[in-house]
Amino acid sequence: MNGGRLSRCRHTDKLNYLVTGTDTGAGKTFVTSGLVRFSRSGGIDTVGMKPVCTGDNLDVQQLLEACDRCEPEFLINPVWYRTPVAPYTASIIEERQIDLDALWKAFTHLAQRHAHVLVEGAGGIAVPIRADYDYRDLARDLQLEVVVVAANRLGVLNHVRLTEEAIRAAALRCRVIVLNTVEPDSDISQTTNQSVLESLIDVPVLSVEHGQTEFSSLAKLLWEESRKEELGIRK
């Protein structure tokens, strides 16, 4: 991870987010696409993008459908590898280095045209995009605050605490932890994880149920913060 990198994007008063996970399969696409769809239905012009996709591109298709395909696919997903592994690994296997300029330019275009952009990562916050560049660097370059999606199951306390510490150590702001019920009634910890996390970390923790389509609590937290930013009353 490269320290001290200057931001690649011009400063904007708009508040955009990186949606990362504690692991693959935590439900980033479900939360991102659900939040985009819900926000747009309420008149908030929000789009999602997946800078780097690997394997099938079903995640990208869900993001496109959530915004009614208001932007071309090459902007929502500027880099796609067919090999279903981490981005950096896929670039090695397919012998094609990830074009960071393409990621920055696609984001800048979307950010100029829409009120908010949700940038969906791949796996967790430290997943490498290049050997010396991961999603913490991308968040810094694009001036993104971070939304963490975690699967609500046994083990999530450790996963969330490690992820939140990595975000804080990178001088990024973790805006909210979203506990996503990937598998209903998987274990008894689902009933206690939220309250325990709230006692351990100084970050809001929200729960999302399996198949949920109503994201008012998450939308209110994220977009009301944006309005506070505009008024200059951020804490």
Q: What residues are annotated to the active site?
A: 50
Q: How far is the first Cα of the chain from the last one, in angstroms, to the nearest whole number?
A: 28
- Block residue for tokens 């309420």: 42
H-helix or E-strand spanning residue 50: none
Q: How many CA atoms lie within 13 A of 210 on its CB side?
A: 9
- Block residue for tokens 């009614």: 68
Contact present, 22 and 124 (Cβ < 8 Å): yes
d(CA 71, CA 40): 14
β pairing state of 116-124 and 145-151 = unpaired
Calculate helix-pair angle for 28-41, 216-231, nearest 10 degrees.
70
Write the CA distances from 167 to 125, 183, 184, 223, integer angstroms: 8, 26, 28, 21
**E-only strand ranges, the chain:** 17-21, 46-49, 52-54, 79-81, 116-124, 128-130, 133-134, 145-151, 174-180, 205-208
